[in-house]
Amino acid sequence: MDNILRDGTQIDQTVFKELDLRETSSPAVSDYIVVPALYTGNLHIEIVAKEECEIHGEEITSTVIWSIYTEEDLLLNIPDELTYSKIIAQYPDGEEEITQYEEGELVIPQVIPTEKNIVKLTFYQDDEIVAIFNMDKGKGYQIISEDGNYVIRIVDEEGNPVYDIWQEVDEDTIELSPYIDIEYFDREKNFVFKLEKYVNIPIGVYFAGTIMSEFSLPFKFLKDIENGDKCYYVKISLNYVNDTSSGKLNAYLIWR
């Protein structure tokens, strides 16, 4: 049983003892940890690599790769022959009309103010759709890689280039960080609240003895939770992907 960390910090309780990241299925859940001093705000958890550890989170693949994203205004060099009366941009969280007029006349080239991803652009003439540039369905455009950037080339039905949009393409796969959940229980071990994804553990490799995560046990928010003033035990859950993770870690409750 460890009693003290390398820097002299005294260990109050051991939360995980040599938890094998490869062999333990995620989430790794601790036993009940008795925390009568929770409401002092001085209880902290520290996760330390027992040996060299590699830890990874869930990967998700997003179609946002084919959207247009820019912090600057997006300049579309709309050719004169492409007439339209309005443009609807579809963002991942909804749609917006972005047509611009000056004194009743459309402004060409069209400047689209955007700080968001655009998934689809739909061009209308009156109520009729004259063109759809659907960034996530692979229609109506070609993508050509050039120097790490991409040209989104809008093409007509014969495949002839109409115009180009330059944009660096986002990663298609995102690895989410491993994360910690905290469950709170009262003295009778009745469930009170689960704080999900409270903190993240940076993805990567940790040498033996390296701190992988440190966080305090939050308690102030419990005042807004029913029976939040009666918490006496907590459980710590470590969520990660065990197939791509390896090594052993320890986790400790410390008083600071």
Partner 1 sequence: MAYSLPDGTKIDQIIWDNQALYSSSGDYRASDYIPVPALYSGRLKILFLANNDVIIRGQILTLKDDSTYEIKPYISIQYYNKNKSNLRTMGYVSNIAYGSYLKNNIMCEFNIPYRYIINKWNYYDCYYIRIWLYYNKPASSGNISAYLIWE
Residue 140 lies near partner 1 (rule: CB under 8 A):
no
Shortest distance (Å) from residue 256 CB to partner 1: 5
Under the phi-then-psi rule, with left for phi > 0, alpha for psi from -120 to 50, and beta for the rest, what region is 104?
Answer: left
Nearer to partner 1, 163 or 215 (CB): 215
Distance CA(33)–CA(232), nearest Å, equals 8
Q: Which of 61, 83, 125, 142 binds partner 1 (CB under 8 A)?
A: 61
Shortest distance (Å) from residue 230 CB to partner 1: 16
Q: Taking CB under 8 A as the rule, which mask of x and - marks residues 73-112 in contact with partner 1?
A: -------------------xxx------------------
Task: Please give the C-alpha separations between residue 64 and each of 52, 57, 115, 189, 195, in angstroms, as whole numbers.
Answer: 35, 20, 14, 44, 29
Nearer to partner 1, 79 or 202 (CB): 202
Q: Which of 54, 136, 164, 186 binds partner 1 (CB under 8 A)?
A: 136
DSSP, res 66: G
Residue 211 lies near partner 1 (rule: CB under 8 A):
yes
Q: Which of 109, 196, 205, 229 binds partner 1 (CB under 8 A)?
A: 196
Distance CA(185)–CA(34), nearest Å, equals 9
Residue 103 in contact with residue 97, Cβ under 8 Å? no
Residue 210 lies near partner 1 (rule: CB under 8 A):
yes
How many other β-carbons are positioned within 10 Å of the β-carbon of residue 42?
A: 13
3-state SS of 135-149?
Answer: CCCCECEEEEEECCE
Q: Taking CB under 8 A as the rule, which mask of x and - marks residues 150-189 in contact with partner 1?
A: ------------------------x-xx-x----------
Q: Which amino acid is at 36?
A: P
Instruction: Find where tokens 């989170």 sit.
Output: 57
Binding residues for partner 1, per CB under 8 A? 7, 41-42, 44, 46, 60-64, 71, 92-94, 115-116, 119, 136, 174, 176-177, 179, 195-200, 202, 209-211, 213-216, 218-221, 223-224, 256
